[in-house]
Amino acid sequence: MARQLTDDQRLALINKWKTPPGASEQDRLERAERMVKDAINQHEAFQGPEITVEAKGSYPNKTNVRGDSDVDIMVKLNDPFHTDGMAAWYFGQPNQFTGPWTAATLRKEVHTALAAYFGSVDADHNLAFYVPEVIGSRPSIDVVPCFKWVQYDSTAPGGAYVGSVVYGRDGTRVINWPELQLANGRAKNTNTKYRYKFVVRVLKNVENDLAAEGVIKPLPSYFSECLIYNVRDDIFLSGGLDDAVRACLVEVHRQVSSFWSLLCMREPNQRKKLFGDGQKWNAFHARELIEGAWRYLGYGG
């Protein structure tokens, strides 16, 4: 069982976790993003196509924490975009596109560009390329080669949702919505008077501590962000910051303990269910994390 913080210890840590990592850490993250952009821009094969290179996940969302600050960067080919259903047939761009830019071609060219620039690149992962950390200079980098993904929906602003799709080496297809995650997270943070991202950072730090002490198995840091996103905005606003953390843990535990509530929980992009096929976590992991956080932070029990 993890140690239990005293009230003074908890309040001191909460005060420490109020802000993201400092300027030096931010510089390291920005350097990593800039270097990947340079690698792609210098590669001859990418001189013509419309390519987007940008960070995704906790770094641009400002929910990254100290000691957990690697950076995820997508290299997204925007044309041809991919889609499915009748739209794929109508626009002539099915997800098994056979033109010059296939999934295998994109992966090959991204690998070549990274290897020429960084030298040491691990290409054995299913989805991303891994560029090792350079201590004192930049964090490790996961680079994901992907295509623009368009989901046509008459209820969406502009008639479509836009995300990205990556094809794994094993043929799997993973659709992500980093732009929606970013926009929805910013809106929720504003609506909660900047407490949403604060509580996310608290839970991420606690998860790191619990995993380091062997109380729980390590979980993706994005999971903490997902859980807290499902808390109603008004719950963040009662009392001080310590009260907000306590109230959010209570609410998340209520939701993950109810079968019907579990079905309604969504990722911050609001396009994916939080619990279901293809996820790296389940309701047990959620309850274990929230109950462990409750004890660790000294809220009782």
For 167-214, what is each residue's pLDDT tens digit? 999 989 999 999 999 999 999 999 999 999 999 999 999 999 999 999
| 89 and 163 co-located in one domain | yes
For 209, other C-beta atoms within 10 Å of its C-beta total: 19
Region for 298 from its dihedrals, namely left if φ exceeds 0, alpha if ψ lies in -120 to 50, beta otherwise: left
Residue that finishes a domain, picked among 176, 210, 242: 176
Q: How many structural domains are present in the chain? A: 2
Regarding whether 209 and 169 lie in a shared domain, the answer is: no
Type of residue at 14: I
End residue of a domain, out of 120, 154, 176: 176
Considering the entire predicted model, what is its pTM? 0.89
Range of the domain at 205: 183-296
Longest dimension (CA), the chain: 62
Domain assignment of residue 103, yes or no: yes
Per residue in 49-91, pLDDT (tens digit) is 899 999 887 777 777 776 665 789 999 999 888 887 655 545 5
The answer to whether residues 237 and 141 belong to one domain is no
Q: Does residue 261 lie in a domain region? A: yes
- Write the DSSP assignment of 81-139 as a string of letters: EE--HHHHHHHT--TT--SS--HHHHHHHHHHHHHHHHS--B--SSS-EEE--BTTTB-
269, part of any domain? yes
- Residue that finishes a domain, picked among 176, 196, 212: 176
